[in-house]
Amino acid sequence: MAESFGQPLGGLRQVFPEGDVFAVCDDRELAEFASGRGLRTLLLDEVETLPDGAGVALFLRNSLVSREIRKMFRRFRVLLIPIASFDSALDAAQYTFELTRHTDYEKACDWNRYWADNLTRQPGPLVFTGSGTELVCSFADDLSADAWLTPEIDVGKWISVASYCEFSITAPSSRDWRGAFDINGTALASGLLVAHDPRAGRDGMARIEQARELRAEMVAKGPITMRLRNGVLTSVMASGEEYSDAVREVTNPDYELHTLELGIGTNMSLLPRVDWTYNSQLNEGAGPVHLGFGEGITGAHMDFVVARCEHRFDASA
Amino acid sequence: MRNITINDQSWMIDEDERLVTGKERLESGDSVEAASLSYGYARI
């Protein structure tokens, strides 16, 4: 498979092993960049010219996911890269584009299957350990997770790149924060991302804008040390400065820093290429674990990404 | 053994890309529930 990474499609050929494959962009600058990398590229308003069943890597730099956009792609096999949910700046979009090509989707799916299997079979807590991280994660007996288990996408399917790059477990509701998982311990995060949901309202967007500034400041001062007790972030520090009040505010203070998402990274082969200064979704799964706060609607969704650690299941518990 | 549901399809959509099941939960007053349930649908 390593051979395909020297080709214009790179790892995308794993997702679309046969047939025509196109990069579709909602923005001319990114389309020109994609074309310069050798991909067959179209703009969003040219999609109707594509043949049925075409493979599409859909890069949304300026648009958020909507029903209208989904309807345009019903005839195709779609890998979605929702750049606008993170950072629409051209350099961030180009960076995300490149990491999308360099992702090893087969290996990511291997990891997703590993986690589905082991979280089913292993009764004890999952421990992330090493390089400044010591997190103990326990799980409910009935669990829902989002992950894509096989590389190929069939016609009519619409799969977000994040479904490959992480095995994601989220809290069921704000009435049941620990209904899916519980976390205790310390984590050393190198990356911090801010995302927003297409349903974010005015108040939510105001918090999200504040979160973007906070993210830049914290990443510049990083790494970030997090302490968690019973699933709640009790401390988050960078360069000796405490940021928990600021993070609580931008992720919606009503949520009181409860962990919303436990994301297990499955795209670690990307790590040597990662630049943590970018607010890119492709950074999210490049570390072995990330913790998310806020849902991106009433406030920011902030992911703290641990770049390095090992894991084990604690059979003694 | 733990029971794990991968990619909960309770947000299934119809031919017009409208939500047909899970709609009540997605539109509930609890944004965490909506975000959690719809992670595969409106994925960010």
The SS3 assignment for A254 reads helix
CB of A161 closer than 8 Å to CB of A100:
yes
Which residues, including other chains, have CB under 8 Å from residue A284's CB and lie 6 or more apart? Answer: A162, A165, A166, A191, A193, A263, A265, A290, A303, A305
Q: Which of residues 1-44 of B touch A (CB under 8 A)?
A: 1-8, 16-18, 30-36, 39-40, 42-44
Q: From the list A71, A147, A149, which residue is nearest B17 (CB)?
A: A71
List, in sequence order, every beta strand (DSSP E) within chain B. 3-6
Q: From the list A80, A119, A173, which residue is nearest B33 (CB)?
A: A173
Identify the pLDDT of residue A317: 62
Domain ranges of chain A: 12-102, 124-144+166-313
In this predicted model, what pLDDT tens digit does every residue of A158-212 receive, in sequence order?
Answer: 889 999 999 999 999 999 999 999 999 999 999 999 998 888 889 999 999 999 9
Task: Tell me the pLDDT band of A71, cut-offs 50, 70 and 90.
Answer: confident
Tell me: pLDDT of A240 over 50: yes
Running DSSP on this structure, what letter comes out for residue A5?
Answer: G
Q: From the list B3, B32, B44, which residue is nearest A85 (CB)?
A: B44
Using the Cβ of A52 and the Cβ atoms of chain B, whether some distance falls under 8 Å is answered with: no
ipTM of predicted assembly, 2 dp: 0.85
CB of A290 closer than 8 Å to CB of A265:
yes
Tell me: pLDDT of A306 over 50: yes
In this predicted model, what pLDDT tens digit does every residue of A244-297 receive, in sequence order?
Answer: 999 999 999 999 999 999 999 999 999 999 999 999 999 999 999 999 999 999
Using the Cβ of A175 and the Cβ atoms of chain B, whether some distance falls under 8 Å is answered with: yes
Q: What six digits make up the tokens of A290? A: 């990330």
Q: In sequence order, what DSSP letters do the residues of A143-168 get, joined into one string?
A: EEEB---SS---TT-EEEHHHHHEEE
Task: Pick from B23, B32, B33 the residue to mutate for testing the A interface (most A CBs within 10 Å).
Answer: B32
- Asked if A160's CB is within 8 angstroms of B43's CB, the reply is yes
Task: Tell me the pLDDT band of A315, cut-offs 50, 70 and 90.
Answer: confident
Q: In sequence order, what DSSP letters do the residues of A221-251 get, joined into one string?
A: H--EEEEEETTEEEEEEETTEE-HHHHHHHT
Tell me: pLDDT of B44 over 50: no
Using the Cβ of A79 and the Cβ atoms of chain B, whether some distance falls under 8 Å is answered with: no
- Asked if A85's CB is within 8 angstroms of B4's CB, the reply is no
Tell me: pLDDT of A141 over 80: yes
In this predicted model, what pLDDT tens digit does every residue of A8-57 receive, in sequence order?
Answer: 999 999 999 999 999 999 999 999 999 999 999 999 999 999 999 999 99
Identify the pLDDT of residue B12: 55
Is it true that domain A12-102 has CATH number 3.40.50? yes
In this predicted model, what pLDDT tens digit does every residue of B12-39 receive, in sequence order?
Answer: 566 665 655 556 666 667 888 877 766 5
- Looking from the CA of A125 toward its CB, the CA atoms found within 13 Å total 15
Class of residue A55 by CB neighbours under 10 A (exposed 0-12, middle 13-18, buried 19+) = buried
- Asked if B33's CB is within 8 angstroms of A116's CB, the reply is no
Starting at the earlier edge strand, list the strands of the sheet with A21-25: A41-43, A21-25, A55-59, A77-81, A158-160
